[in-house]
Every structure is written in C-alpha cells, then in structure tokens.
Amino acid sequence: MTNPTRWWCLGLLGVYDTFVRPWMLDWGSTTTERAMALPGDDIADDTMTHHTRAITIEVPPHIVWPWLVQIGDRRGGFYSHDWLERHIGVHYIEDRHSATRIHPELQDLQVGDRIATGSIGNISIDAPVTVLEPNHALVIDTWAFVLQPTKQGHTRLLVREREPSWIRRIAPRRSGLLRAISGLIDYTVGEPLHFVMLRKMMLGIKSRAENPTTQPD
C-alpha cells in the first residue's frame, strides 16, 4: 500500500470511528436518553457497555405495546427487512413477512417465556423475557424495548442493547487471535449490518403503530 493510499485509509477510518460509528450505535437518541436508567439495566453485567437508539412514534404507548409483545422468530417477526431475515432463517406467523396486524394469540407474554431471536437451520436461538411492564418495557435477556410517553401524547421508543459486538461474543475467550479477527468483522460488517436491520425494525414498528387500519381495537 502506497503512502497516499495508507493516509486515505487512515483518514476514512478516523471519520468512521469518530462520526459514523457513534451515530449508528446511538441513532436517534438524545444525550439524556443515553444516560438515563432503563428497565433491564440492573440485569446486565456492570462491565458491559450499552447503546441506546430512539424514535418518536406519534401514538400513545398502549398502541405501540401490542406490536412489541408479539415480536420474535416464529411469532410476529422483527418488522425489518423480511427478505434478508428469511435468508438467515427467520419464520413468521404470517407466512413470508412480519406481522401486519395484531395477533391476539401472541399477546399473553410472561416473564420467563422465551422468545426466539433467530434460527440456524431448524435450531431456534432464544432468550428469556426478563422484564415485562405492560405499555412500558419489554426486556429480552438484556435487550430492552422501552416506551416513554411524551407531553404531546406520543411515544419515544428506546431500544437499548449491550455490547455492539455479535460475532466476537461466540468466539472462545482464550482464543485471542480468533476474538481479534471476530472483533474486526463485527466492527467493519456486523455493526453496520445490525444497524440497518434494527433501524428498519424501529421504522417498521412506527409505521404499523401509526397506521389507523392496523391499530388494536
């Protein structure tokens, strides 16, 4: 690599790490929202970092809540890019796409129930519901969905996740080289891809909740 090319690469990396990556990891949230305590914070290890994304939904929390409750693989889906989710093994109650209506049979969710967050072949990857506060908070393991009412009668949907890494977490802790490579893949591919999917999910929840024809009775 020539010197000019090297400097261009370092410059682009600096811009990505200083501006683009922080924007992705905390998309839409305010400084106050990123700092506030949310349901599920006490479950996570103190050493874990967290990132909070947020969006305003122009309906009250009780309209948004049923869409959160039915989230999951082999349930209502994730309201994201269905075509991509199908390629990684996600199945839906509505055949080939995320739910477009409220399903009463998926609304009876309890703490301790397990929600599938993905699949590998026929093997479901699931996590327990650790917090369930109707019309306010759903926490799946440490993945928190929190509904905050606004003065305008709308809702701020906050989504807080622990640790931006995904691939690195499944690498053996004693394998320094493998974890380093996995971390690099997370940094360059995993995090941007996850951001694209999660942003689409939040927009998908927003569009469904705001649509008068899909609101619960």
Confidence of residue 5 (pLDDT cuts 50, 70, 90): confident
CA distance 57 to 66: 14
H-run or E-run covering 83 = helix 82-87
Phi, psi values for residue 88, rounded to 5°: -105, 10
Question: What was the pLDDT predicted at 38?
Answer: 95
Across residues 212-217, what is the average pLDDT?
Answer: 74
Question: What was the pLDDT predicted at 172?
Answer: 46
DSSP 127-160: EEEEEEETTTEEEETTEEEEEEE-TTS-EEEEEE
CA distance 51 to 148: 17
CA distance 136 to 39: 9
Under DSSP, the state recorded for 105 is: G
Across residues 52-73, what is the average pLDDT?
Answer: 97
Confidence of residue 4 (pLDDT cuts 50, 70, 90): confident
| pTM of the predicted protein model | 0.86
User: 2 or 208: which carries more pLDDT confidence?
Assistant: 208
Of 71-75, 92-96, 200-204, where does the model show the most confidence? Answer: 200-204
User: 194 or 202: which carries more pLDDT confidence?
Assistant: 202
Q: What is the pLDDT of residues 95-111, one digit of tens each?
A: 889 999 999 999 999 99
* Percentages of the chain per state (helix, strand, coil), in multiples of 5: 40, 25, 35
Residue given tokens 């809540």 in the structure block:
65
* Statement: residue 68 has pLDDT above 70: yes
| Percent of the residues in the chain that have a pLDDT greater than 90, as a whole number | 54
Q: Which two tokens stand for residue 55?
A: 């969006």
Question: What was the pLDDT predicted at 88?
Answer: 77
- In the three-class reduction of DSSP (H, G, I as helix; E, B as strand; rest coil), residue 29 is classed as coil
Q: Are 98 and 92 in contact (CB under 8 A)?
A: yes
Q: What is the pLDDT of residues 144-185, one digit of tens each?
A: 999 999 999 999 999 999 865 555 555 445 555 555 566 666
The residue type found at 104 is P
Question: What was the pLDDT predicted at 26?
Answer: 95
- In the three-class reduction of DSSP (H, G, I as helix; E, B as strand; rest coil), residue 60 is classed as coil
The least confident of 35-39, 84-88, 110-114, 136-140 is 84-88
Across residues 35-64, what is the average pLDDT?
Answer: 89
Domains present along the chain, CATH in parentheses: 29-214 (3.30.530.20)
Quote the mean pLDDT of the chain. Answer: 85
User: 21 or 6: which carries more pLDDT confidence?
Assistant: 21
